[in-house]
Amino acid sequence: MEDFAALLSPAAAPHLEELAAQSQKLTRHFFGNTIRLFAPLYLSNECVNVCKYCGFSRHNAIPRITLPAAKVEDETRLLAGRGFRSLLLVAGEHPKYVANGYVADCIRRCLPLTPQIALELGPLETEEYVPLVAVGAEGLVVYQETYHEPTYRELHTAGPKKNYAWRLDTAERGHAAGFRRLGIGALFGLHDWRLEAISLAAHAKHLLKNCWSSYLTVALPRMRPASGHFQIEAKNELADREMVQLMCALRLLLPTAGIVLSTREPANLRDGLCTLGVTHMSAGSSTEPGGYSAFDESQWTPTREQPGEQFHIADERPPQVVAAMLKQKGLDPVWKDHDRALSGPRETPAFETITATADESAARTWMPQSR
């Protein structure tokens, strides 16, 4: 971790080329030339939380939509037609609209069309995750947003998300429930980027040690313009060059972890980063529930405004253009890298509760008795 902090320091910045070369070498060694492509599919923008930086925040006056499960299936069919076999189902946190039965129904409908389904929802209890894993969800993604507790308190002023520790433990509850893949991240722009990066890396190391049977991915999303017009303080900005430095340093620290790059980033930066350490990329994304249907595929333009989007993406290229770009760089775009047949039937894990003491945050969660 000390070496990682040194690699993030201003003193390491002049050595960026060397750092990038090492990162590229390690990535090719562990992942070959592959880049997995996925699409986020927004189920609902209803949310009970107040997060000052998010377009879905409770007080923002946007049209609120929760897609009926049949409509989710339609959107999945569209995405499958564009090549995707890996989806991230995303929803705001609303116990009335985004309940477990609804999510399970969506997974059931999506799976025949796309065999790899991950979830990005409001955090749940382990017992609530178990049926979602049983029905076929493969991955769980939850970003801490900021690891700096005072900033977290300042930015999350209402709703269950106010509970920092509950969110921090989500990945471990997901692991206990049997998710094959866990995704974590920080939203860069909310606090000092180096402190966020070091905390994120420490969290990743902790999960690699304690949730070793799940595969770990790490994301480095940066703030994008959204409804609510949250202003990033200049001191918290993560510049493009620093973003490269961060991603390459993270690869050196975590050689086997997946690194996710979304369409929040502009095309030119994505084209550069994809050769250096990235393993997973989204493409052709919409961040509004129902947004994929409101698209003219022949022109690749939205057929209407998308006022209910979470944020506006920066790389608006169609997925096939992104795949062609990857090929041109000698990389292999992978649309499908998992099938339920590979993981076989899942057993429901047995649990015991471990009581945490103040400095036992590592054990502050449900742990499986056997795996």
Binding site for ligand SF4 (CB under 6 A): 47, 49, 51, 54, 56-57, 92-93, 161
Closest approach of ligand SF4 to the CB of residue 53, in Å: 7
- The token duo for 228 is 């609510």
Closest approach of ligand SF4 to the CB of residue 33, in Å: 34
CB atoms within 10 A of CB 24: 15
Closest to ligand SF4 by CB, 46 vs 265, is 46
Rounded distance between C-alpha atoms, residue 361 and residue 358, angstroms: 7
Q: Which of 192, 87, 85 is nearest to 147 (CA)?
A: 192
Give the distance from CA 129 to its chain's centroid.
Answer: 17
Rounded distance between C-alpha atoms, residue 255 and residue 168, angstroms: 23
Closest approach of ligand SF4 to the CB of residue 304, in Å: 22
The values of phi and psi at residue 106, to 5°, are -60, -45
Closest approach of ligand SF4 to the CB of residue 285, in Å: 15
Strand partners, 107: none
Please state, in angstroms and as integers, the Cα–Cα distance from residue 168 to each residue in 49, 151, 364, 366, following that order: 16, 15, 10, 13
Closest approach of ligand SF4 to the CB of residue 159, in Å: 7
Please state, in angstroms and as integers, the Cα–Cα distance from residue 70 to each residue in 107, 250, 290, 308, 317, following that order: 11, 40, 11, 20, 27
Closest to ligand SF4 by CB, 92 vs 136, is 92
Closest to ligand SF4 by CB, 54 vs 244, is 54
Rounded distance between C-alpha atoms, residue 355 and residue 366, angstroms: 9
CB atoms within 10 A of CB 20: 20
Closest to ligand SF4 by CB, 7 vs 260, is 260
Coil, strand, or helix at residue 66? strand
Closest approach of ligand SF4 to the CB of residue 180, in Å: 23
Give the distance from CA 79 to its chain's centroid.
Answer: 18
Closest to ligand SF4 by CB, 51 vs 216, is 51
Closest approach of ligand SF4 to the CB of residue 198, in Å: 23
Tokens 């095309």: give the residue. 267
What secondary structure letter does DSSP report for 160? Answer: G
Closest to ligand SF4 by CB, 209 vs 229, is 229
Closest to ligand SF4 by CB, 90 vs 274, is 90
Closest approach of ligand SF4 to the CB of residue 357, in Å: 29
Closest to ligand SF4 by CB, 50 vs 249, is 50
Q: Which of 113, 97, 112 is nearest to 42 (CA)?
A: 97
